[in-house]
């Protein structure tokens, strides 16, 4: 996941094709980005259900999303894993088939606001009258990693990114929605704020943040931190939690004023729907015991680890599953109207030129 979760169109050009297995003898075919589902979960599913699974692996979310939009549909598996940032494009392409959530016993145990935001119209825009086009299988947050051994005090919230000691020592995602979004969050606004003109403090604050930045990177952004070339980096929890296990000099925080939530999703291509087997696999991942095991085995959590009210378990690792008070202030980054997207990009370009 070291490639930006939100830069598919720019990053996908020139990526080598993934050789999908031609065998269709298995009951269920999956295309999984990397190792985003722990192997014991897959083995337990096959042992318990006697459903045979053919698994292909893509290098990451960009590869699997590109294949969905470019590959011959007859060569695609029954389910592909993609990131939530690509859901709108995937729906609008006409290449997806919607799910029937009535087939999922555990669907209503997922946080209600996530279920609502996955209900989209055929342009991929959230709509109460829309259909369910994706099923989340893991989630995480945007968080801050920092060198605990080199800072005078720990970082705790977005406002700390403007601390004088971080001048020229900060790595930010090469992503306007994440960077402008965290600045909006610092000011008490939403990542999905439509009218940026009503926030006069935003542009000066972005200009000041630009002075803190050593580099913008959504790929390999933790390496400079590990090498001592930077003091802090903003990135994604699955990457950062894995790095914390390897290097005790690093610490991390989920900003207490709230952050962005990302989802990794199962989608089903048109013409490859296998309702009985696909629905059983998806629902299996949300069963309480499986959701707990999934969350214990990897750096990202199952969405079913939360209750429908999005309450964090009492004994949860707060870096993997933030406290309810933080979750309540956090949000998915949602599609914006074209005119609003243009305003974000213009503000991004102004910031980067400062």
Question: DSSP per residue over 274-298, as a string?
Answer: -HHHHHHHHHHHHSHHHHHHHHHHS
Determine the pLDDT at residue 7.
43
CB 280, CB 79: distance < 8 Å: no
CB 202, CB 184: distance < 8 Å: yes
How far is it, in rounded angstroms, from Cα 295 to Cα 308?
A: 17
pLDDT, tens digit, for every residue of 127-136? 999 999 999 9
Determine the pLDDT at residue 196.
96
Same fold: 8-139+260-320 with 141-259+337-353: yes
Determine the pLDDT at residue 272.
93
Determine the pLDDT at residue 4.
52
Determine the pLDDT at residue 307.
84
Determine the pLDDT at residue 3.
41
Structural tokens at position 3: 């490639």
CB 238, CB 140: distance < 8 Å: yes
How far is it, in rounded angstroms, from Cα 270 to Cα 210?
A: 44
Query: At the fourth CATH level, which superfamily is domain 8-139+260-320?
Result: Periplasmic binding protein-like II (3.40.190.10)
How far is it, in rounded angstroms, from Cα 58 to Cα 20?
A: 9
Helix (H) or strand (E) holding 342: helix 338-353
**Residue count of the chain:** 354
C-alpha Rg value of the chain to the nearest Å: 20
Q: Which residues of the chain have pLDDT under 70?
A: 1-24
- Sort strands 250-253 and 232-236 into parallel, antiparallel or unpaired: unpaired
Helix (H) or strand (E) holding 236: strand 232-236
240: how many CB neighbours lie within 10 A of its CB? 27
112 backbone dihedrals φ, ψ, rounded to 5°? -60, -40
- Backbone φ/ψ region at 127: left (φ over 0), alpha (ψ -120 to 50), beta: beta
CB 264, CB 61: distance < 8 Å: yes
C-alpha torsion 76→80→86→88, nearest 10: 80
Chain centroid to CA 94: how far? 22
All residues at 6 or more sequence positions from 93 whose CB lies less than 8 Å from its CB, including other chains: 68, 69
3-state secondary structure of 123: coil
The residue ranges of every structural domain in the chain are 8-139+260-320, 141-259+337-353
Distances (CA, A) of 124 to 93, 228, 347: 9, 42, 25
pTM confidence score? 0.92
Determine the pLDDT at residue 14.
30
Determine the pLDDT at residue 20.
53
Determine the pLDDT at residue 16.
34
- C-alpha closest to that of 286 among 139, 180, 126, 153: 139
Determine the pLDDT at residue 313.
85
Record: fold of 141-259+337-353: D-Maltodextrin-Binding Protein; domain 2 (3.40.190)
């Amino acid at each position: 996941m070291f490639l930006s979760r939100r830069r598919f169109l720019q990053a996908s050009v020139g990526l080598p094709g993934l050789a999908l297995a031609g065998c269709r003898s298995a009951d269920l075919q999956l295309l999984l980005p990397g190792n985003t589902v722990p192997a014991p979960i897959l083995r337990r599913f096959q042992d318990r259900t006697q459903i045979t699974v053919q698994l292909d692996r893509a290098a990451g979310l960009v590869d699997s999303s590109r294949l969905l939009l470019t590959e011959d549909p007859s060569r695609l598996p029954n389910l592909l894993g993609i990131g939530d940032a690509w859901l709108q494009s995937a729906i609008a392409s006409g290449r997806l088939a919607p799910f029937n959530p009535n087939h999922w016993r555990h669907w209503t145990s997922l946080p209600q606001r996530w279920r609502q935001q996955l209900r989209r119209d055929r342009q991929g825009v959230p709509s109460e009258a829309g259909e369910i086009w994706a099923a989340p299988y893991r989630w995480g947050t945007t968080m801050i990693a920092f060198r605990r051994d080199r800072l005078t005090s720990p970082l705790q919230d977005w406002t700390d990114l403007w601390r004088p000691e971080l001048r020229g020592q900060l790595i930010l995602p090469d992503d306007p929605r994440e960077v402008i979004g965290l600045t909006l969050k610092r000011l008490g606004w939403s990542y999905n704020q439509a009218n940026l003109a009503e926030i006069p403090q935003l542009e000066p604050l972005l200009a000041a943040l630009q002075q803190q930045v050593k580099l913008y990177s959504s790929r390999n952004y933790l390496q400079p931190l590990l090498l001592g070339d930077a003091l802090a980096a903003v990135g994604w929890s699955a990457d950062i939690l894995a790095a914390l296990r390897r290097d005790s000099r690093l610490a991390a925080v989920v900003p207490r004023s709230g952050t962005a939530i990302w989802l990794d999703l199962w989608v089903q291509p048109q013409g490859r729907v296998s309702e009985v087997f696909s629905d059983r696999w998806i629902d299996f991942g949300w069963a309480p015991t499986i959701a707990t095991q999934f969350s214990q085995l990897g750096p990202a959590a199952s969405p079913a680890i939360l209750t429908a009210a999005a309450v964090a378990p009492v004994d949860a690792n707060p870096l993997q599953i933030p406290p309810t008070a933080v979750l309540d202030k956090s949000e998915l980054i949602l599609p914006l109207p074209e005119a609003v997207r243009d305003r974000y990009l213009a503000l991004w370009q102004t910031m980067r030129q400062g």
